[in-house]
Amino acid sequence: MTSLLTQEQWDILDGMRSNLGLAADLAQAKISLILPLDRSRQLCASAAQLSGKRKAKAGGDICFLSVFDQAEPLTRSENTEPEEMTRAADEPLMTQALAENTVTEGFREVAPGQFARLKVYPICDGHNRCFAAAAFEDREADVVFWDATMDFLHGSKTDYASNSCYRRLSSIDGLVLVNARDGLILAANNAARHIYRVLGVGHLVGRRTSSEEINWNGIDNVLYTGTAEEQELQKKGLFLDFRFIPLHAAGGIERIIVVIEDVTQLKLKDEELRVKAAVIREIHHRVKNNLQTIASLLRLEQRRAASEETKVVLRDSINRISSIALVHEYLSGQGTELVDINELGNGVYRTVMSSMKTPDLELEMKFSADNLRLPSQQAASLALVLNELLQNALEHGFENRKKGTLTAAISRLDEDGGNREKLQGKAAEAAQYSGNAKKETTDRLLLLVKDDGVGLPAGFDLQKTKSLGLKIVQTVVQSDLKGTFSLEPRTDGNGTVAKVVIHI
């Protein structure tokens, strides 16, 4: 249908279509781009050839009208399906505008006994050939911005989408039309008048934008650069966002549309959120300090303890408290309830190694984690589990050993066809331990701690163990993390592998 359009005509229509939604918001009206069709329902070439000097009988060769595109304002959308094609005889105003290359205006019956105001603008190329039309229609017609909106459509470009100034409007946005030559306000909608009544300015229309009450310096910037501009101003307790959109004509910028958005409530909510975030960070900071104070007191008791068993119990308790304190330390610095697992895991790993690794043990240590973040509650539980598994490995895995290897990895589980699982990123080396269990969800996390130590004792049963650390792991994994925990001999040699799988 559009194959008869020249490249210039197609570019004009494409630019209009890309900004038709914003135009409908500015006009507060439904806008339809109309193409004339002949009897064979092809683009009507004769209508496209008419010039301003030569007119034909209205609707001479136009038999049908086709809707190229259509948009309704967000604030008044009736969600009606556009008629793709209609008979020219049923739309006399549209047909006349196309055939005579002139603006037509009147009323259109949209339902029995119900009429909407209709204004149709011809769309012409550089040779003044009318090849399409833009029809503005609204039942609650406020036509003051229709001419300006048509000027905006004439200058529309497809690259406007990348400019935030050309985003669509809301029902409470103010609209003001300004004469670019002298800065005189030509028109203002009810929302704009209401905003400025709150600011103590009784009448907008007739004032100049350079006046003390208005003072929109964005107008001068737009005239200088020729491009749309956005500014945020604070006036008498109101936060207002201004968008200055130039309307280009042959001689330059003739008028400017100003969109005024009251963002006061958004600013107040943002400020409230910032205050709450600061309070939350302070709370995490104080909790971290309190936990570290408790750990320091326990260290004093550890040094004073005469029994080696008491010292071990206090050391394990200090490590548990320190692991939880690490979570609050990260939360106090990041200002978010999400914790970076890589940073947290490394912190726990260093804490345990520094407190438990004996100088005579030559230990190859390695920790790795995928790039993921968890909510603070899950992160705290995971840190405690990692702490217990590392402590257990160091305490029991390398007894009477002079050297060994201890590694830990945290990774996300993904599906690799069927029910097989694979590990992404740094934990790929641990894939042999992921098992073939049926995958319930793609959002699962795997924690592996493995050593090449002495291994599990004969007849070991995890369910019957008396180890406090392992009981803590079982309880936290099952109750808090809703996951599974297993402790098994390594299949590739001596040692033990602990595996925790949780849903995230």
- Helical packing angle, 376-396 and 341-356, nearest 10°: 30
The pLDDT score that the predictor gives to residue 60 is 52
Helix (H) or strand (E) holding 8: helix 7-18
Strand segments (E) across 5-63? 30-37
The pLDDT score that the predictor gives to residue 415 is 53
The pLDDT score that the predictor gives to residue 59 is 45
The pLDDT score that the predictor gives to residue 32 is 94
The pLDDT score that the predictor gives to residue 458 is 81
The pLDDT score that the predictor gives to residue 76 is 66
The pLDDT score that the predictor gives to residue 330 is 76
Q: What is the pLDDT along the chain (504 residues), one digit of tens a residue?
A: 566 788 899 999 999 999 999 999 999 899 999 999 988 888 886 554 544 444 444 445 889 999 999 999 886 655 566 668 889 899 999 999 999 999 999 998 888 888 889 999 999 988 888 999 999 998 876 788 999 999 899 888 877 878 889 999 888 899 999 998 889 999 998 889 999 999 988 889 999 998 888 989 889 888 888 889 999 988 888 899 999 999 887 678 889 999 999 998 888 888 888 888 788 788 888 888 998 899 899 989 988 898 888 988 898 888 888 888 887 887 777 666 788 888 888 888 888 887 776 777 788 888 888 888 888 888 888 888 988 898 888 888 887 778 888 889 999 886 543 333 344 444 444 444 444 444 334 588 999 998 888 888 888 888 888 888 888 889 989 988 889 999 988 887 788 999 999 987
Contacts (Cβ under 8 Å, ≥6 apart) of 336? none
- Helical packing angle, 7-18 and 20-27, nearest 10°: 60
The pLDDT score that the predictor gives to residue 336 is 67
The pLDDT score that the predictor gives to residue 433 is 43
Q: Look up residue 351 and give its two tokens.
A: 């804490």
Structural contact between residues 163 and 60, judged by C-beta atoms closer than 8 angstroms: no
Q: What is the largest CA-CA distance in the chain?
A: 112
d(CA 1, CA 107): 29
Structural contact between residues 121 and 104, judged by C-beta atoms closer than 8 angstroms: no
pTM: 0.59
DSSP assignment of 272-327 equals HHHHHHHHHHHHHHHHHHHHHHHHHHHHHHHHH---HHHHHHHHHHHHHHHHHHHH
The pLDDT score that the predictor gives to residue 21 is 92
